[in-house]
Each structure stands twice: as structure tokens, then as C-alpha cells.
Structure 1
Amino acid sequence: MASSDSSAQGPHDMALILDQSVSLTLGTDSLLIEGMTGCIRPIASRDSPNRQITALVAKQTVVVVGCSSLVNPKTTHAISLYNILGAEVTASNLVVAYAEPTAKDDISVTTVQYPIAEKEKKAVDSWVQKLLEQAYGKALIGKRLKILVNPFGGKGTAASLYQTYAAPVFAAAKCQVDVEHTTHRGHAIDIAENLDIDAYDAVVCCSGDGLPYEVFNGLGKRPDAHKALTQTAITLLPCGSGNGLTWNSFGTGSVSIAALGIVKGLRTPLDLVSISQKDSRTLSFLSQSFGIVAECDLATENIRWMGAQRFTYGFLVRLMRQTIWPCDIAVKVEIGDKAAIKEHYAAWSTRPEEPDSDSKRLEAAALSPGLPELKYGGVTDDLPQDWDTIPGETMGNFYAGNMAIMSKDTNMFPATLPNDGLMDVVTIDGRVSRGTAITMMNEIPSGRFFDMPELILRKASAFRLTPHQREGYISIDGERVPFEAFQAEVHQGLGTILTKSGRLYEAEGPR
């Protein structure tokens, strides 16, 4: 017989007793199952999503309904509430679906269920609602997801990666999915521009960072751009080379773990950057680069088969040449030294959360639906007098970004925050020795890159860069744009993404 008992538990605990042989205790951060594990139902195999397999909870012995095998019922199993995907009462069973870790960088969907009688359903229903409330917290249950799959990105495996590793997670979490494959470059721009934003909670890109770039810009082309960018969260399943958005949001390069992150993801405001050139205005969510980083990214398109290693290869090749990229640079500096930047990060990351901040954002966007006006004008306008000019005749690398992690093991800019209205502007002189440059690259995973004196870092709200050469590469979010002067300006909290924390990137901050 099922019963709910919270008298002997902590303030957030509640135990469900099933037939006096099994208890499911809902704790602060985990679901504790004691006694017989119950019936483990078939789930989709990762090798073949349509083939049914039977899974066990860890190494526990189980009772399978309809089978005669009954083994030691004295078992205990703890499931993190973050891993709980769904729970429901069917005609005759309590069913709980969760993400079971199967490897260091992978999870699979497992369901456990227990038979219940009709008279027990009311108590079990109440317990299920409590379980879901605690398992999801502030995250939206049953998200409505527009899935965009780029079958050509990265190594061309996005479709199979989605179907094998993400689709079962979304199904177990009762997400409503609408899957569409992109067919050509720029297709996601058209899709986002014409999207029914009231029909979806998030757009999920199965790709590298190129598809989110297109979606942000498609939403930015709409008459209600401000509303669309605020209302619609954009997120990424890592199916490309860099996958920066996933690493920052969920701290992983795993498709299945990222899918769990999306299910449990919290709406998070994201600063977007307007990029103005002579004849255009686009939006950037990740980075703007000129010099060796842009070259490593864009000039290695022909070796995409190498995956993320192509960036390292491109860096080493160009390092040996000790190339410089002369340019004119002007920056609207807001914080000019590393010590003050560390203080800013500490203060911002520990500030109290503002109540109903998301509702206020949505209200403001509805009142002013279009893209924000450019505070500093475009790249062809006069340069504001209060901007700082930076020597650029021997520029080796110019990088500006509003995310901390560029790809796996590249937490290059740990002081970056999603929504402080500032971007990190980094300059490195091209005359540094080969040995120093290699040391800098090797210090990125260690976290000491930030403090190296060769790296000049400023927090800025805008900048302008004018190349001196006639040919070269400028990278905006990994996409090539015309090699000409461009100006960047931050719009605080204009965009929306899903993150694990709801306020910070999954990166260790500056020490």
C-alpha cells in the first residue's frame, strides 16, 4: 500500500512507502530508493534509437513485473534530482525516468516503475508533483523545443548524434519537439526570422556555433527583434568543432549531457554585440577576432575533419611565421586593469538575484520591440572623443568576446560574464617570441593565461578596428565577414540562452 510520510524527514524530505517493501525518499538534492528496485522498463538503445533494450539501475538486483526472479531486496540507490527527467502515474504504475551516468561524458535514459493500486493513486500523484517541483526547481518542465539540425556541420554527424543521444532525453522529459534540417548556409536565418516565437520556449541548434549565430541574426532581422531575442532562448547541442555555447552553458562537449542541461536549463540573459560594417549590421553572441585567432579559425576550414585540433594546428603554423596584422584600434574602456576586473567579477557573480527579473525583461521588450539603437553610431561615423586608442602597428592578436570558453580546454577569458554589459577585449603584440607564445597557449588549460603580462585585457562596452592590409580574415562568432573596418557595441541582456546556473558560465573565474 502506498503512503506518504514526511514526519520523520527533514524540511524538504518526503517519503513514499510502496507496499511496505520499498521507500522512495525525496531529499534536498536526491531521490533515495530503498528496498526492492521495482520494474525496470525498456528504453531506447543509443546504438539504435528504435530498438528496445532492458536496463538496470547501477548494479542493483531488480524485481521485474511478470517475471519469477526475485533477489535480495535490501538495496539502496540515490539519484540526483538534477538527473530526474520525469515521473507519472499510469493506469497501474508509478514511473520515474532519469538520466543514468554510463561513462565520464555520457548518460542514458533509464526508467523504473512500481505497480500501484487504484486507491493509492492520490497519494502517489501528490508525491510525483513534489518530486517534479524539486527536480526542476526554476526550470520549465516539458519545454517546447524547435530543433534545428545542420547535417553538414562539423564532421557531418549532427543528425545521428541528435537521434542517438539527445532525442531519448527530450522524450523522457516530455519535451515537445519540432525537428527541422537546414539545407543551406543561411537557412537558419530564414527559419528564425519567420519563427512563431509563441510556439516555442527554445531553439536547439544541433551544430557548431555557426547555427546559433544564424538564429540570433534571424531573430534580429524581425520587426519585433527585441521581443523575439528576449522571449526565445537559444541553445546548442555540441555537434561541431568548437561548440563554445555548450561549453559555457553546460560545461560539456557531450551531446547527451548537454541534452540533460537543456531539459534542466534556466533562462539566462545574454549580452549581444552589434557589429556594424560599411553596409551591414549583424549580431554577435560569442567573439570577434582579428589576427592569429581569426586566421586559425577561418583559414583552416579545409581541415575541418581534424575537429577542434585544427585550431591548434593553425596556431602553430602561424606562430612559426611570427606574422603581425597592423591595424587601428579604438576602445570604449570601462575597466582597464586586471585587478579591477577580478574585483568586478567577484562582485557581479555574488550579487543577489533580482526578483522577477525575467518578467521585467519581457515587459521591457514588449514596450520596445525593435533592435536597440546604436549608442555610438556606425563604423563610418566620427570616433567618440572619450574612446582610448590602442597601438596596433605590431598587432599579433585582437580578440573581443562575451563568453569565457571558446572550445574544450580553452577557458581563455575567465572574467567574462553573461550579462554585465561588458566584453573582454584582449590584445597581444605580434613580436612576442615563439617560446612565449607557446607558453601562453599551454597556460590556457591551467588558468594562468589570464595573468600573463603579455596578455593585455580590458573590459569594454564598444570598440572600432580598422585593418591596414587589403586582405585577411575577420571572424565574428567563427563566421567570416568582409575584411574591412568594423565597430562593435554591447547591448546588455538583449539575448537569452539556457544555462545550468542561470547566472554564470560553467568556467572557473579569475583567481
Structure 2
Amino acid sequence: MSTSDLALEQPDAQLQHDSSITVDKAVSLTLSSDSLLVLDERSNHKSNRGCCAPCKSNIDSPKTVAISLYNILDAEINPTSLVITYAEHSHKDDVTVTALRYKIGDKEKPAVEAWMARLLDLAYGAAERRKRLKVLINPHGGKGNAASLYQKYAAPIFAAARCQLDVQATEYNGHAIKIAEELDIDAYDTVVCCSGDGLPYEVFNGLGKRPNGREALARVAVALLPCGSGNGLTWNCFGTGSNSIAALGIVKGLRTPLDLVSVTQKDSRTLSFLSQSFGIVAESDLATEHIRWMGAQRFTYGFLVRLLRRTVWPCDLAIKVVLDDKQAIKEHYRSYRLKGDEDADSLSDQKRIDAARKSPELPELQFGTVQDELPGDWETVPGETMGNFYAGNMAIMSKDTNFFPASLPNDGLMDVVTIDGNVSRSTSLKMMTEIETGGFFDMPEVKIRKAMAYRLVPRQKEGYISIDGERVPFEAFQCEVHPGLGTVLSKSKRIYEAEGPR
């Protein structure tokens, strides 16, 4: 049952502290804890729902309508009417912009203005209104349809919410790094990427390359409109692969600190927001670039092809382990999930920005680089028969792949999964199905650790290493977590939109 259904079935419980007004003589607008309730008692009434193009045509209105406050985009009073704009679900995976319009007289305006202010306060809560968005469109994203996806599904939502927009197409691989590096961080709240996860990867790294990288990463949030194969950032932050629902999520998104990971190779240092992989997952991702037309299914295809070969990827692996017991990891996740807002947000957004201004450079590497001596208190993990190494600081890697269910946005830890390459094919196939059903975490063949850092040294000369879905040189690399270094927009500041471990 939806919250709207509950609001309609339990009016006394929901409405005891609500604020109501009457407009157009016989239309009652009532604010509940989570909905706007519209009761139209006019005889032979016709819908006053209008469309902000492109959106659905006017239809006869039901007598009672419940609209989630989350879907309210804006409200205004023009000379003769109150206009409330909202995102209406046209079907499960799409919302379109729709408007309610009701006549009001001059004497009613003061009361309506006060009510409207309360409506918007409840509708946005702690979310920034009228966000200033730098929109980057990868013209090759979404099978070349990223620009049209943005214009059709996202632009109307942003316009209805009165976001300030600056739209730019990227022109070459790495262009978003340059754009982010030169961005006026006083002019924008969020960089919105119309792409797959590759463009957010570039934006995080472009912000991090600035002399005031830490400050830039704290001040400018990064968001994704899903136009790629995996779209992990959107799935984790908003729980959707829909452009219009993701656009609504951006409009209503809460600024959320995000752990970022420094990846060092030789003399280079890059930032990772999503995952690092070596072994079967890396090959399934990077060795299937030629079949991107398959969408997310190419990962499954690549996995199955490599599974049949039963290949191992020998390596030397050392990890700075914090938790390695699955029950302890579950307890860590549950305790974090149950924290109140004050506990979870002990360092407010403004205090975090102020701290970053005082120390604007990227944080120093606590454990050095991959070229430094290995710390003595790290756990050495046997890697002679490594089948899969996968580290993540987000839960969902692509649709239906909740690979790291115990992952959290800002706990200062990444989840490291290792699987022996000698497990049977039947067990490997079972792992694929158990990821979707939620049983993967508890499989005895799956070793999971929460860690602050690790170092991996391949023993072979050729292969694949993937950082956030991007190929990097096949050589030794070291990773270290920086708590809350980056900023994203999300529905919840504490957890991802994913099922936690059972």
C-alpha cells in the first residue's frame, strides 16, 4: 500500500496537524505529513490539471487526489490563480510535468501565499530549491541518444522546478575533467552528467585536480542522469534507471558526503567513486566494449564467456582490514542505518565546506603510494588462484547487481570481495543469480572485508584493471579511502537505495 493510500484511508491520524485552504470556492487543499490532498467538491467539475509541455493531456479529475510532497516541483500565484506544478507518474518508470490551477480572489491571496510557502517548505525539506545545475551531455552516451533523452525526460522537470541551467556537450574523452578543473564553483551547486558512470568519474577527478580540490569536491555535488550501460551512481542515489525519475531525484536530492578512494599507480593519483576490479569482473566490463549496443546485458555475456574458461588472475594482495566477519559487517551496516540524522550528520554540510576551505588541497595519503614500503599491519591475502577481486564504495554496480549490499556512502570504509578462481562453474553461475536475489553476501565462497586501504600487484604481464568502469594500466595499484571527500545528491544521506545484507 502506498503512502498516498494510507493518507486517504486514515485521515484523522494523518491530518490532525495539517494546514488546509479552500480555493475556487469548493476545492480543498490539505497538507498532510507526506502528501497534498485535493478534494474537489464542485458539481460536474472538470480537471484543472494542466500540462507544462511536454506532458499528458488534461483528463477528468477524480474527486479526491493525493499527490506525494516529494513530487511537488513548484507553486506560484499569478494575478488570478494558484498554480501548483508537480511530477505525475505516467507509468512506473516515468514522470511527466503536470499543473493544478485554481482561481483565487485578491482577498484570498495573503492566506494562499502563507499556505503555499508551507507547501514548498514541506515539499523540499532540507533539499536546495532552484538548484544551479551545470549539465554535461556526452553525445555518445545512451547509444548516442543522451541529448534527446535529456531534452525529452529531464529538461522539463528541471524547468518546472526553476533550476538554473547551463548545458554543455563534451567533445572528447577526458573533456569533463578539463571542464570540472576550470569550473566556477561559486556559480553551480551540482554538475549533472548525462552519460554512464564515465563522466562522473571524470568530473570527480577534474574537481580533485584543482589546487583547492578538497574544497571543490565539498562544494559541488555530482549527479547522473542515466544514459549509459551501468549507471551505478543513479541506482545507488535514486534507485532508478529512469531519466525523468532521476531528474526528480536531482531536484529533490539531499547533499550527501561521499567517501572517495585515491588510486595510485607509479607516479599517478586518481579518484574513484564507485569501484575497482581485477579478474573476471574487470574483463567482463572492459573486454566487452565492442558490444556496448547490448547495454547492461554485455556484462552478463562477458562474465559467462570468461566463466567457461575458468581463468585465474594471480596477484599479490595486502589489505588494511577493519572488519572481516560477515556478522560484524552486518551489525556495522544496521547500526549506521539506524542512526538519527544528528548522529549521521555530525559534521554539517556547511561545517564540512568551511573545513575544506581551511585545508583546500586533497588530503594527504595516510598509507603512502603503491611505490612505498608496504605497511607492516596489513593483512596479506593469498592471490595465486585469484578469480575475482572487486572493491566498492557503492552498493549497486548496475541494474539488479547489488554487489556490495553492506556498502555505505560515508563510513570511511570500502567493501572488498575476493573469490577463488577454482570454484566450480556451477557455484559461479549460482553467484550470478544470488546477487540479484540477495544471497550472494552469505555464500561461503565469497570473502568480504571492510577495509581502509589495499594494494594489489598483478603477476601477469597483460590483463584488465577497471576503475569506475574505466581501463587503467595493468600494473600494481594501491587504494585508500578518504571519508566524505566527495559530494553527491541522494534521497537518503545515510544509506544507498539498495537492500542491505540479510
Helix, strand or coil at the partner of 1:155: helix
Q: How does 1:177-326 map to 2 (within 5 A)?
A: 177-326=165-314
Q: CA deviation at 1:389?
A: 0.5
Partner in structure 2 of residue 29 of structure 1: 34
Q: Give the counterpart letter for 1:388 in structure 2.
A: E
Question: TM-score normalized by structure 1?
Answer: 0.93
Runs of 4+ in 1 over 6 A off after TM superposition: none
Q: Look up the match of 1:485.
A: 476
Give, in angstroms, the shift of residue 10 of structure 1: 4.1
What is the alpha-carbon distance in structure 1 between the residues aligned to residue 347 and residue 113 of structure 2? 29
Quote the offset at 1:407 in angstroms: 0.5
After the TM superposition, which of the residue ranges 83-92 and 18-27 deviates more from structure 2?
Answer: 18-27
Measured after TM superposition, the shift of residue 54 of structure 1 is: 3.2
1:507 aligns to what?
Answer: 498
Q: 2:108 aligns with which of 106, 116, 120?
A: 120
Alignment equivalent of 1:450, drawn from 430, 441, 445: 441
- The sequence identity of aligned pairs, in percent, is 68
Deviation at 1:41, TM superposition (A): 2.5
Match of 1:498 in 2: 489
1:118 offset after TM fit, Å? 2.1
Offset, 1:349: 1.4
Aligned length: 484
Assess if the C-alpha contact under 8 Å between 1:154 and 1:305 holds in 2: no
In the other structure, the counterpart of 2:126 is: 138
Counterpart residue number, 2:359: 368
Work out whether 1:387 is the aligned partner of 2:388: no
SS at match of 1:44: coil
Structure 2 CA distance for aligned equivalents of residues 208 and 462 of structure 1: 26
TM (norm. structure 2) is 0.94
2:459 alignment counterpart: 468
CA-CA distance at 1:394 after TM superposition? 0.4
CA contact (8 A) 2:276 2:390 kept: yes
Q: How far is 1:91 from its partner?
A: 1.6
Distance 1:483 1:154, change over 3 A: farther
Query: Which string of whole-angstrom CA distances, capped at 9 and with x for unpartnered residues, describes residues 191-238 of structure 1?
Result: 000001111111100000000000000000001101000111101000
Query: Does residue 422 of structure 1 match 2:413?
Result: yes
Supply the AA of the counterpart residue of 1:60: S
Unaligned runs of 5+ in 2: 1-11
Which has the larger share of helix?
2
> Are 2:420 and 1:432 aligned?
no
- Does the Cα contact within 8 Å between 2:217 and 2:487 map onto a contact in 1? yes
The answer as to 2:58 corresponding to 1:55 is yes
Distance 1:335 1:454, change over 3 A: same
- Give the secondary structure class of the aligned counterpart of 1:132: helix
- For 2:37, the aligned partner's letter is L
Inter-partner Cα distance in structure 2 for 1:356 and 1:345: 20
Q: Please, which of 121, 139, 142 is the counterpart of residue 151 of structure 1?
A: 139
* Distance in 2, Cα, partners of 1:123 & 1:295: 62
Looking at structure 1, the residues matched to 385 and 13 of structure 2 have their Cα atoms a distance apart, in angstroms, of 70
Q: Bigger CA drift: 81-90 or 348-357?
A: 348-357
Is contact 1:22–1:34 with CA below 8 Å preserved after alignment? yes
Measured after TM superposition, the shift of residue 8 of structure 1 is 12
CA distance in 2, matches of 1:362, 1:286: 22
Cα displacement (A) at 1:347 = 1.1
Summarize deviations over 1:224-266 as a string: whole Å, max 9, x none: 1010001111010001000000000000000000001111100
Task: Name the SS for the 2:341 alignment partner.
Answer: coil
